[in-house]
Amino acid sequence: MTPLPQSIRQTSIYVAGHRGLVGSAVLRALDTGGCERLITRSHSDLELGDRRAVEEFFAAEKPEIVLLCAAKVGGIAANNDYPAEFIHENLAIQSNVIHAAWQSGVQRLLFLGSSCIYPRDCPQPIRE
């Protein structure tokens, strides 16, 4: 990967969900691209479903860019068995992070959403 522009490399970037599949790839790309001010927090350090905790985090860290890759995930069966729990927790995470970013004057926010729609062990390529 080619280095990112200096203006991005020196900007504070918060990657929410940095331990997940998408977030870890995003974090790796930013690190490889030379970003110097990456901010991460594990789920045990920051509960994104807790509005007050998220607001306090944003006030303290003051990220300039937010990459929202965090979500409650669990596979097709869990999504099917607990749909209300999944949407409730994911909407809380999204709402809290987006609102705190707006409140704290974040310059840019990228929200990455995905869904669990294909079985893990299906023949490839999948026929649509």
pLDDT tens string 61-107: 999 999 999 999 887 788 889 999 999 999 999 999 999 999 999 99
- Give domain status of residue 121, yes or no: no
Domain count for the chain = 1
pTM of the model: 0.88
Whether residue 23 is contained in a domain is answered as yes
Whether 124 is in a domain gets the answer: no
67: in domain: yes
- The CATH number covering residue 105 comes to 3.40.50.720
- Domain of residue 28, residue span: 6-111
- 53 inside domain: yes
Q: DSSP labels for 86-123?
A: HHHHHHHHHHHHHHHHHHTT-SEEEE------S-TT--
pLDDT digits (tens, 9 = 90+) for 35-59: 999 999 999 999 999 999 999 999 9
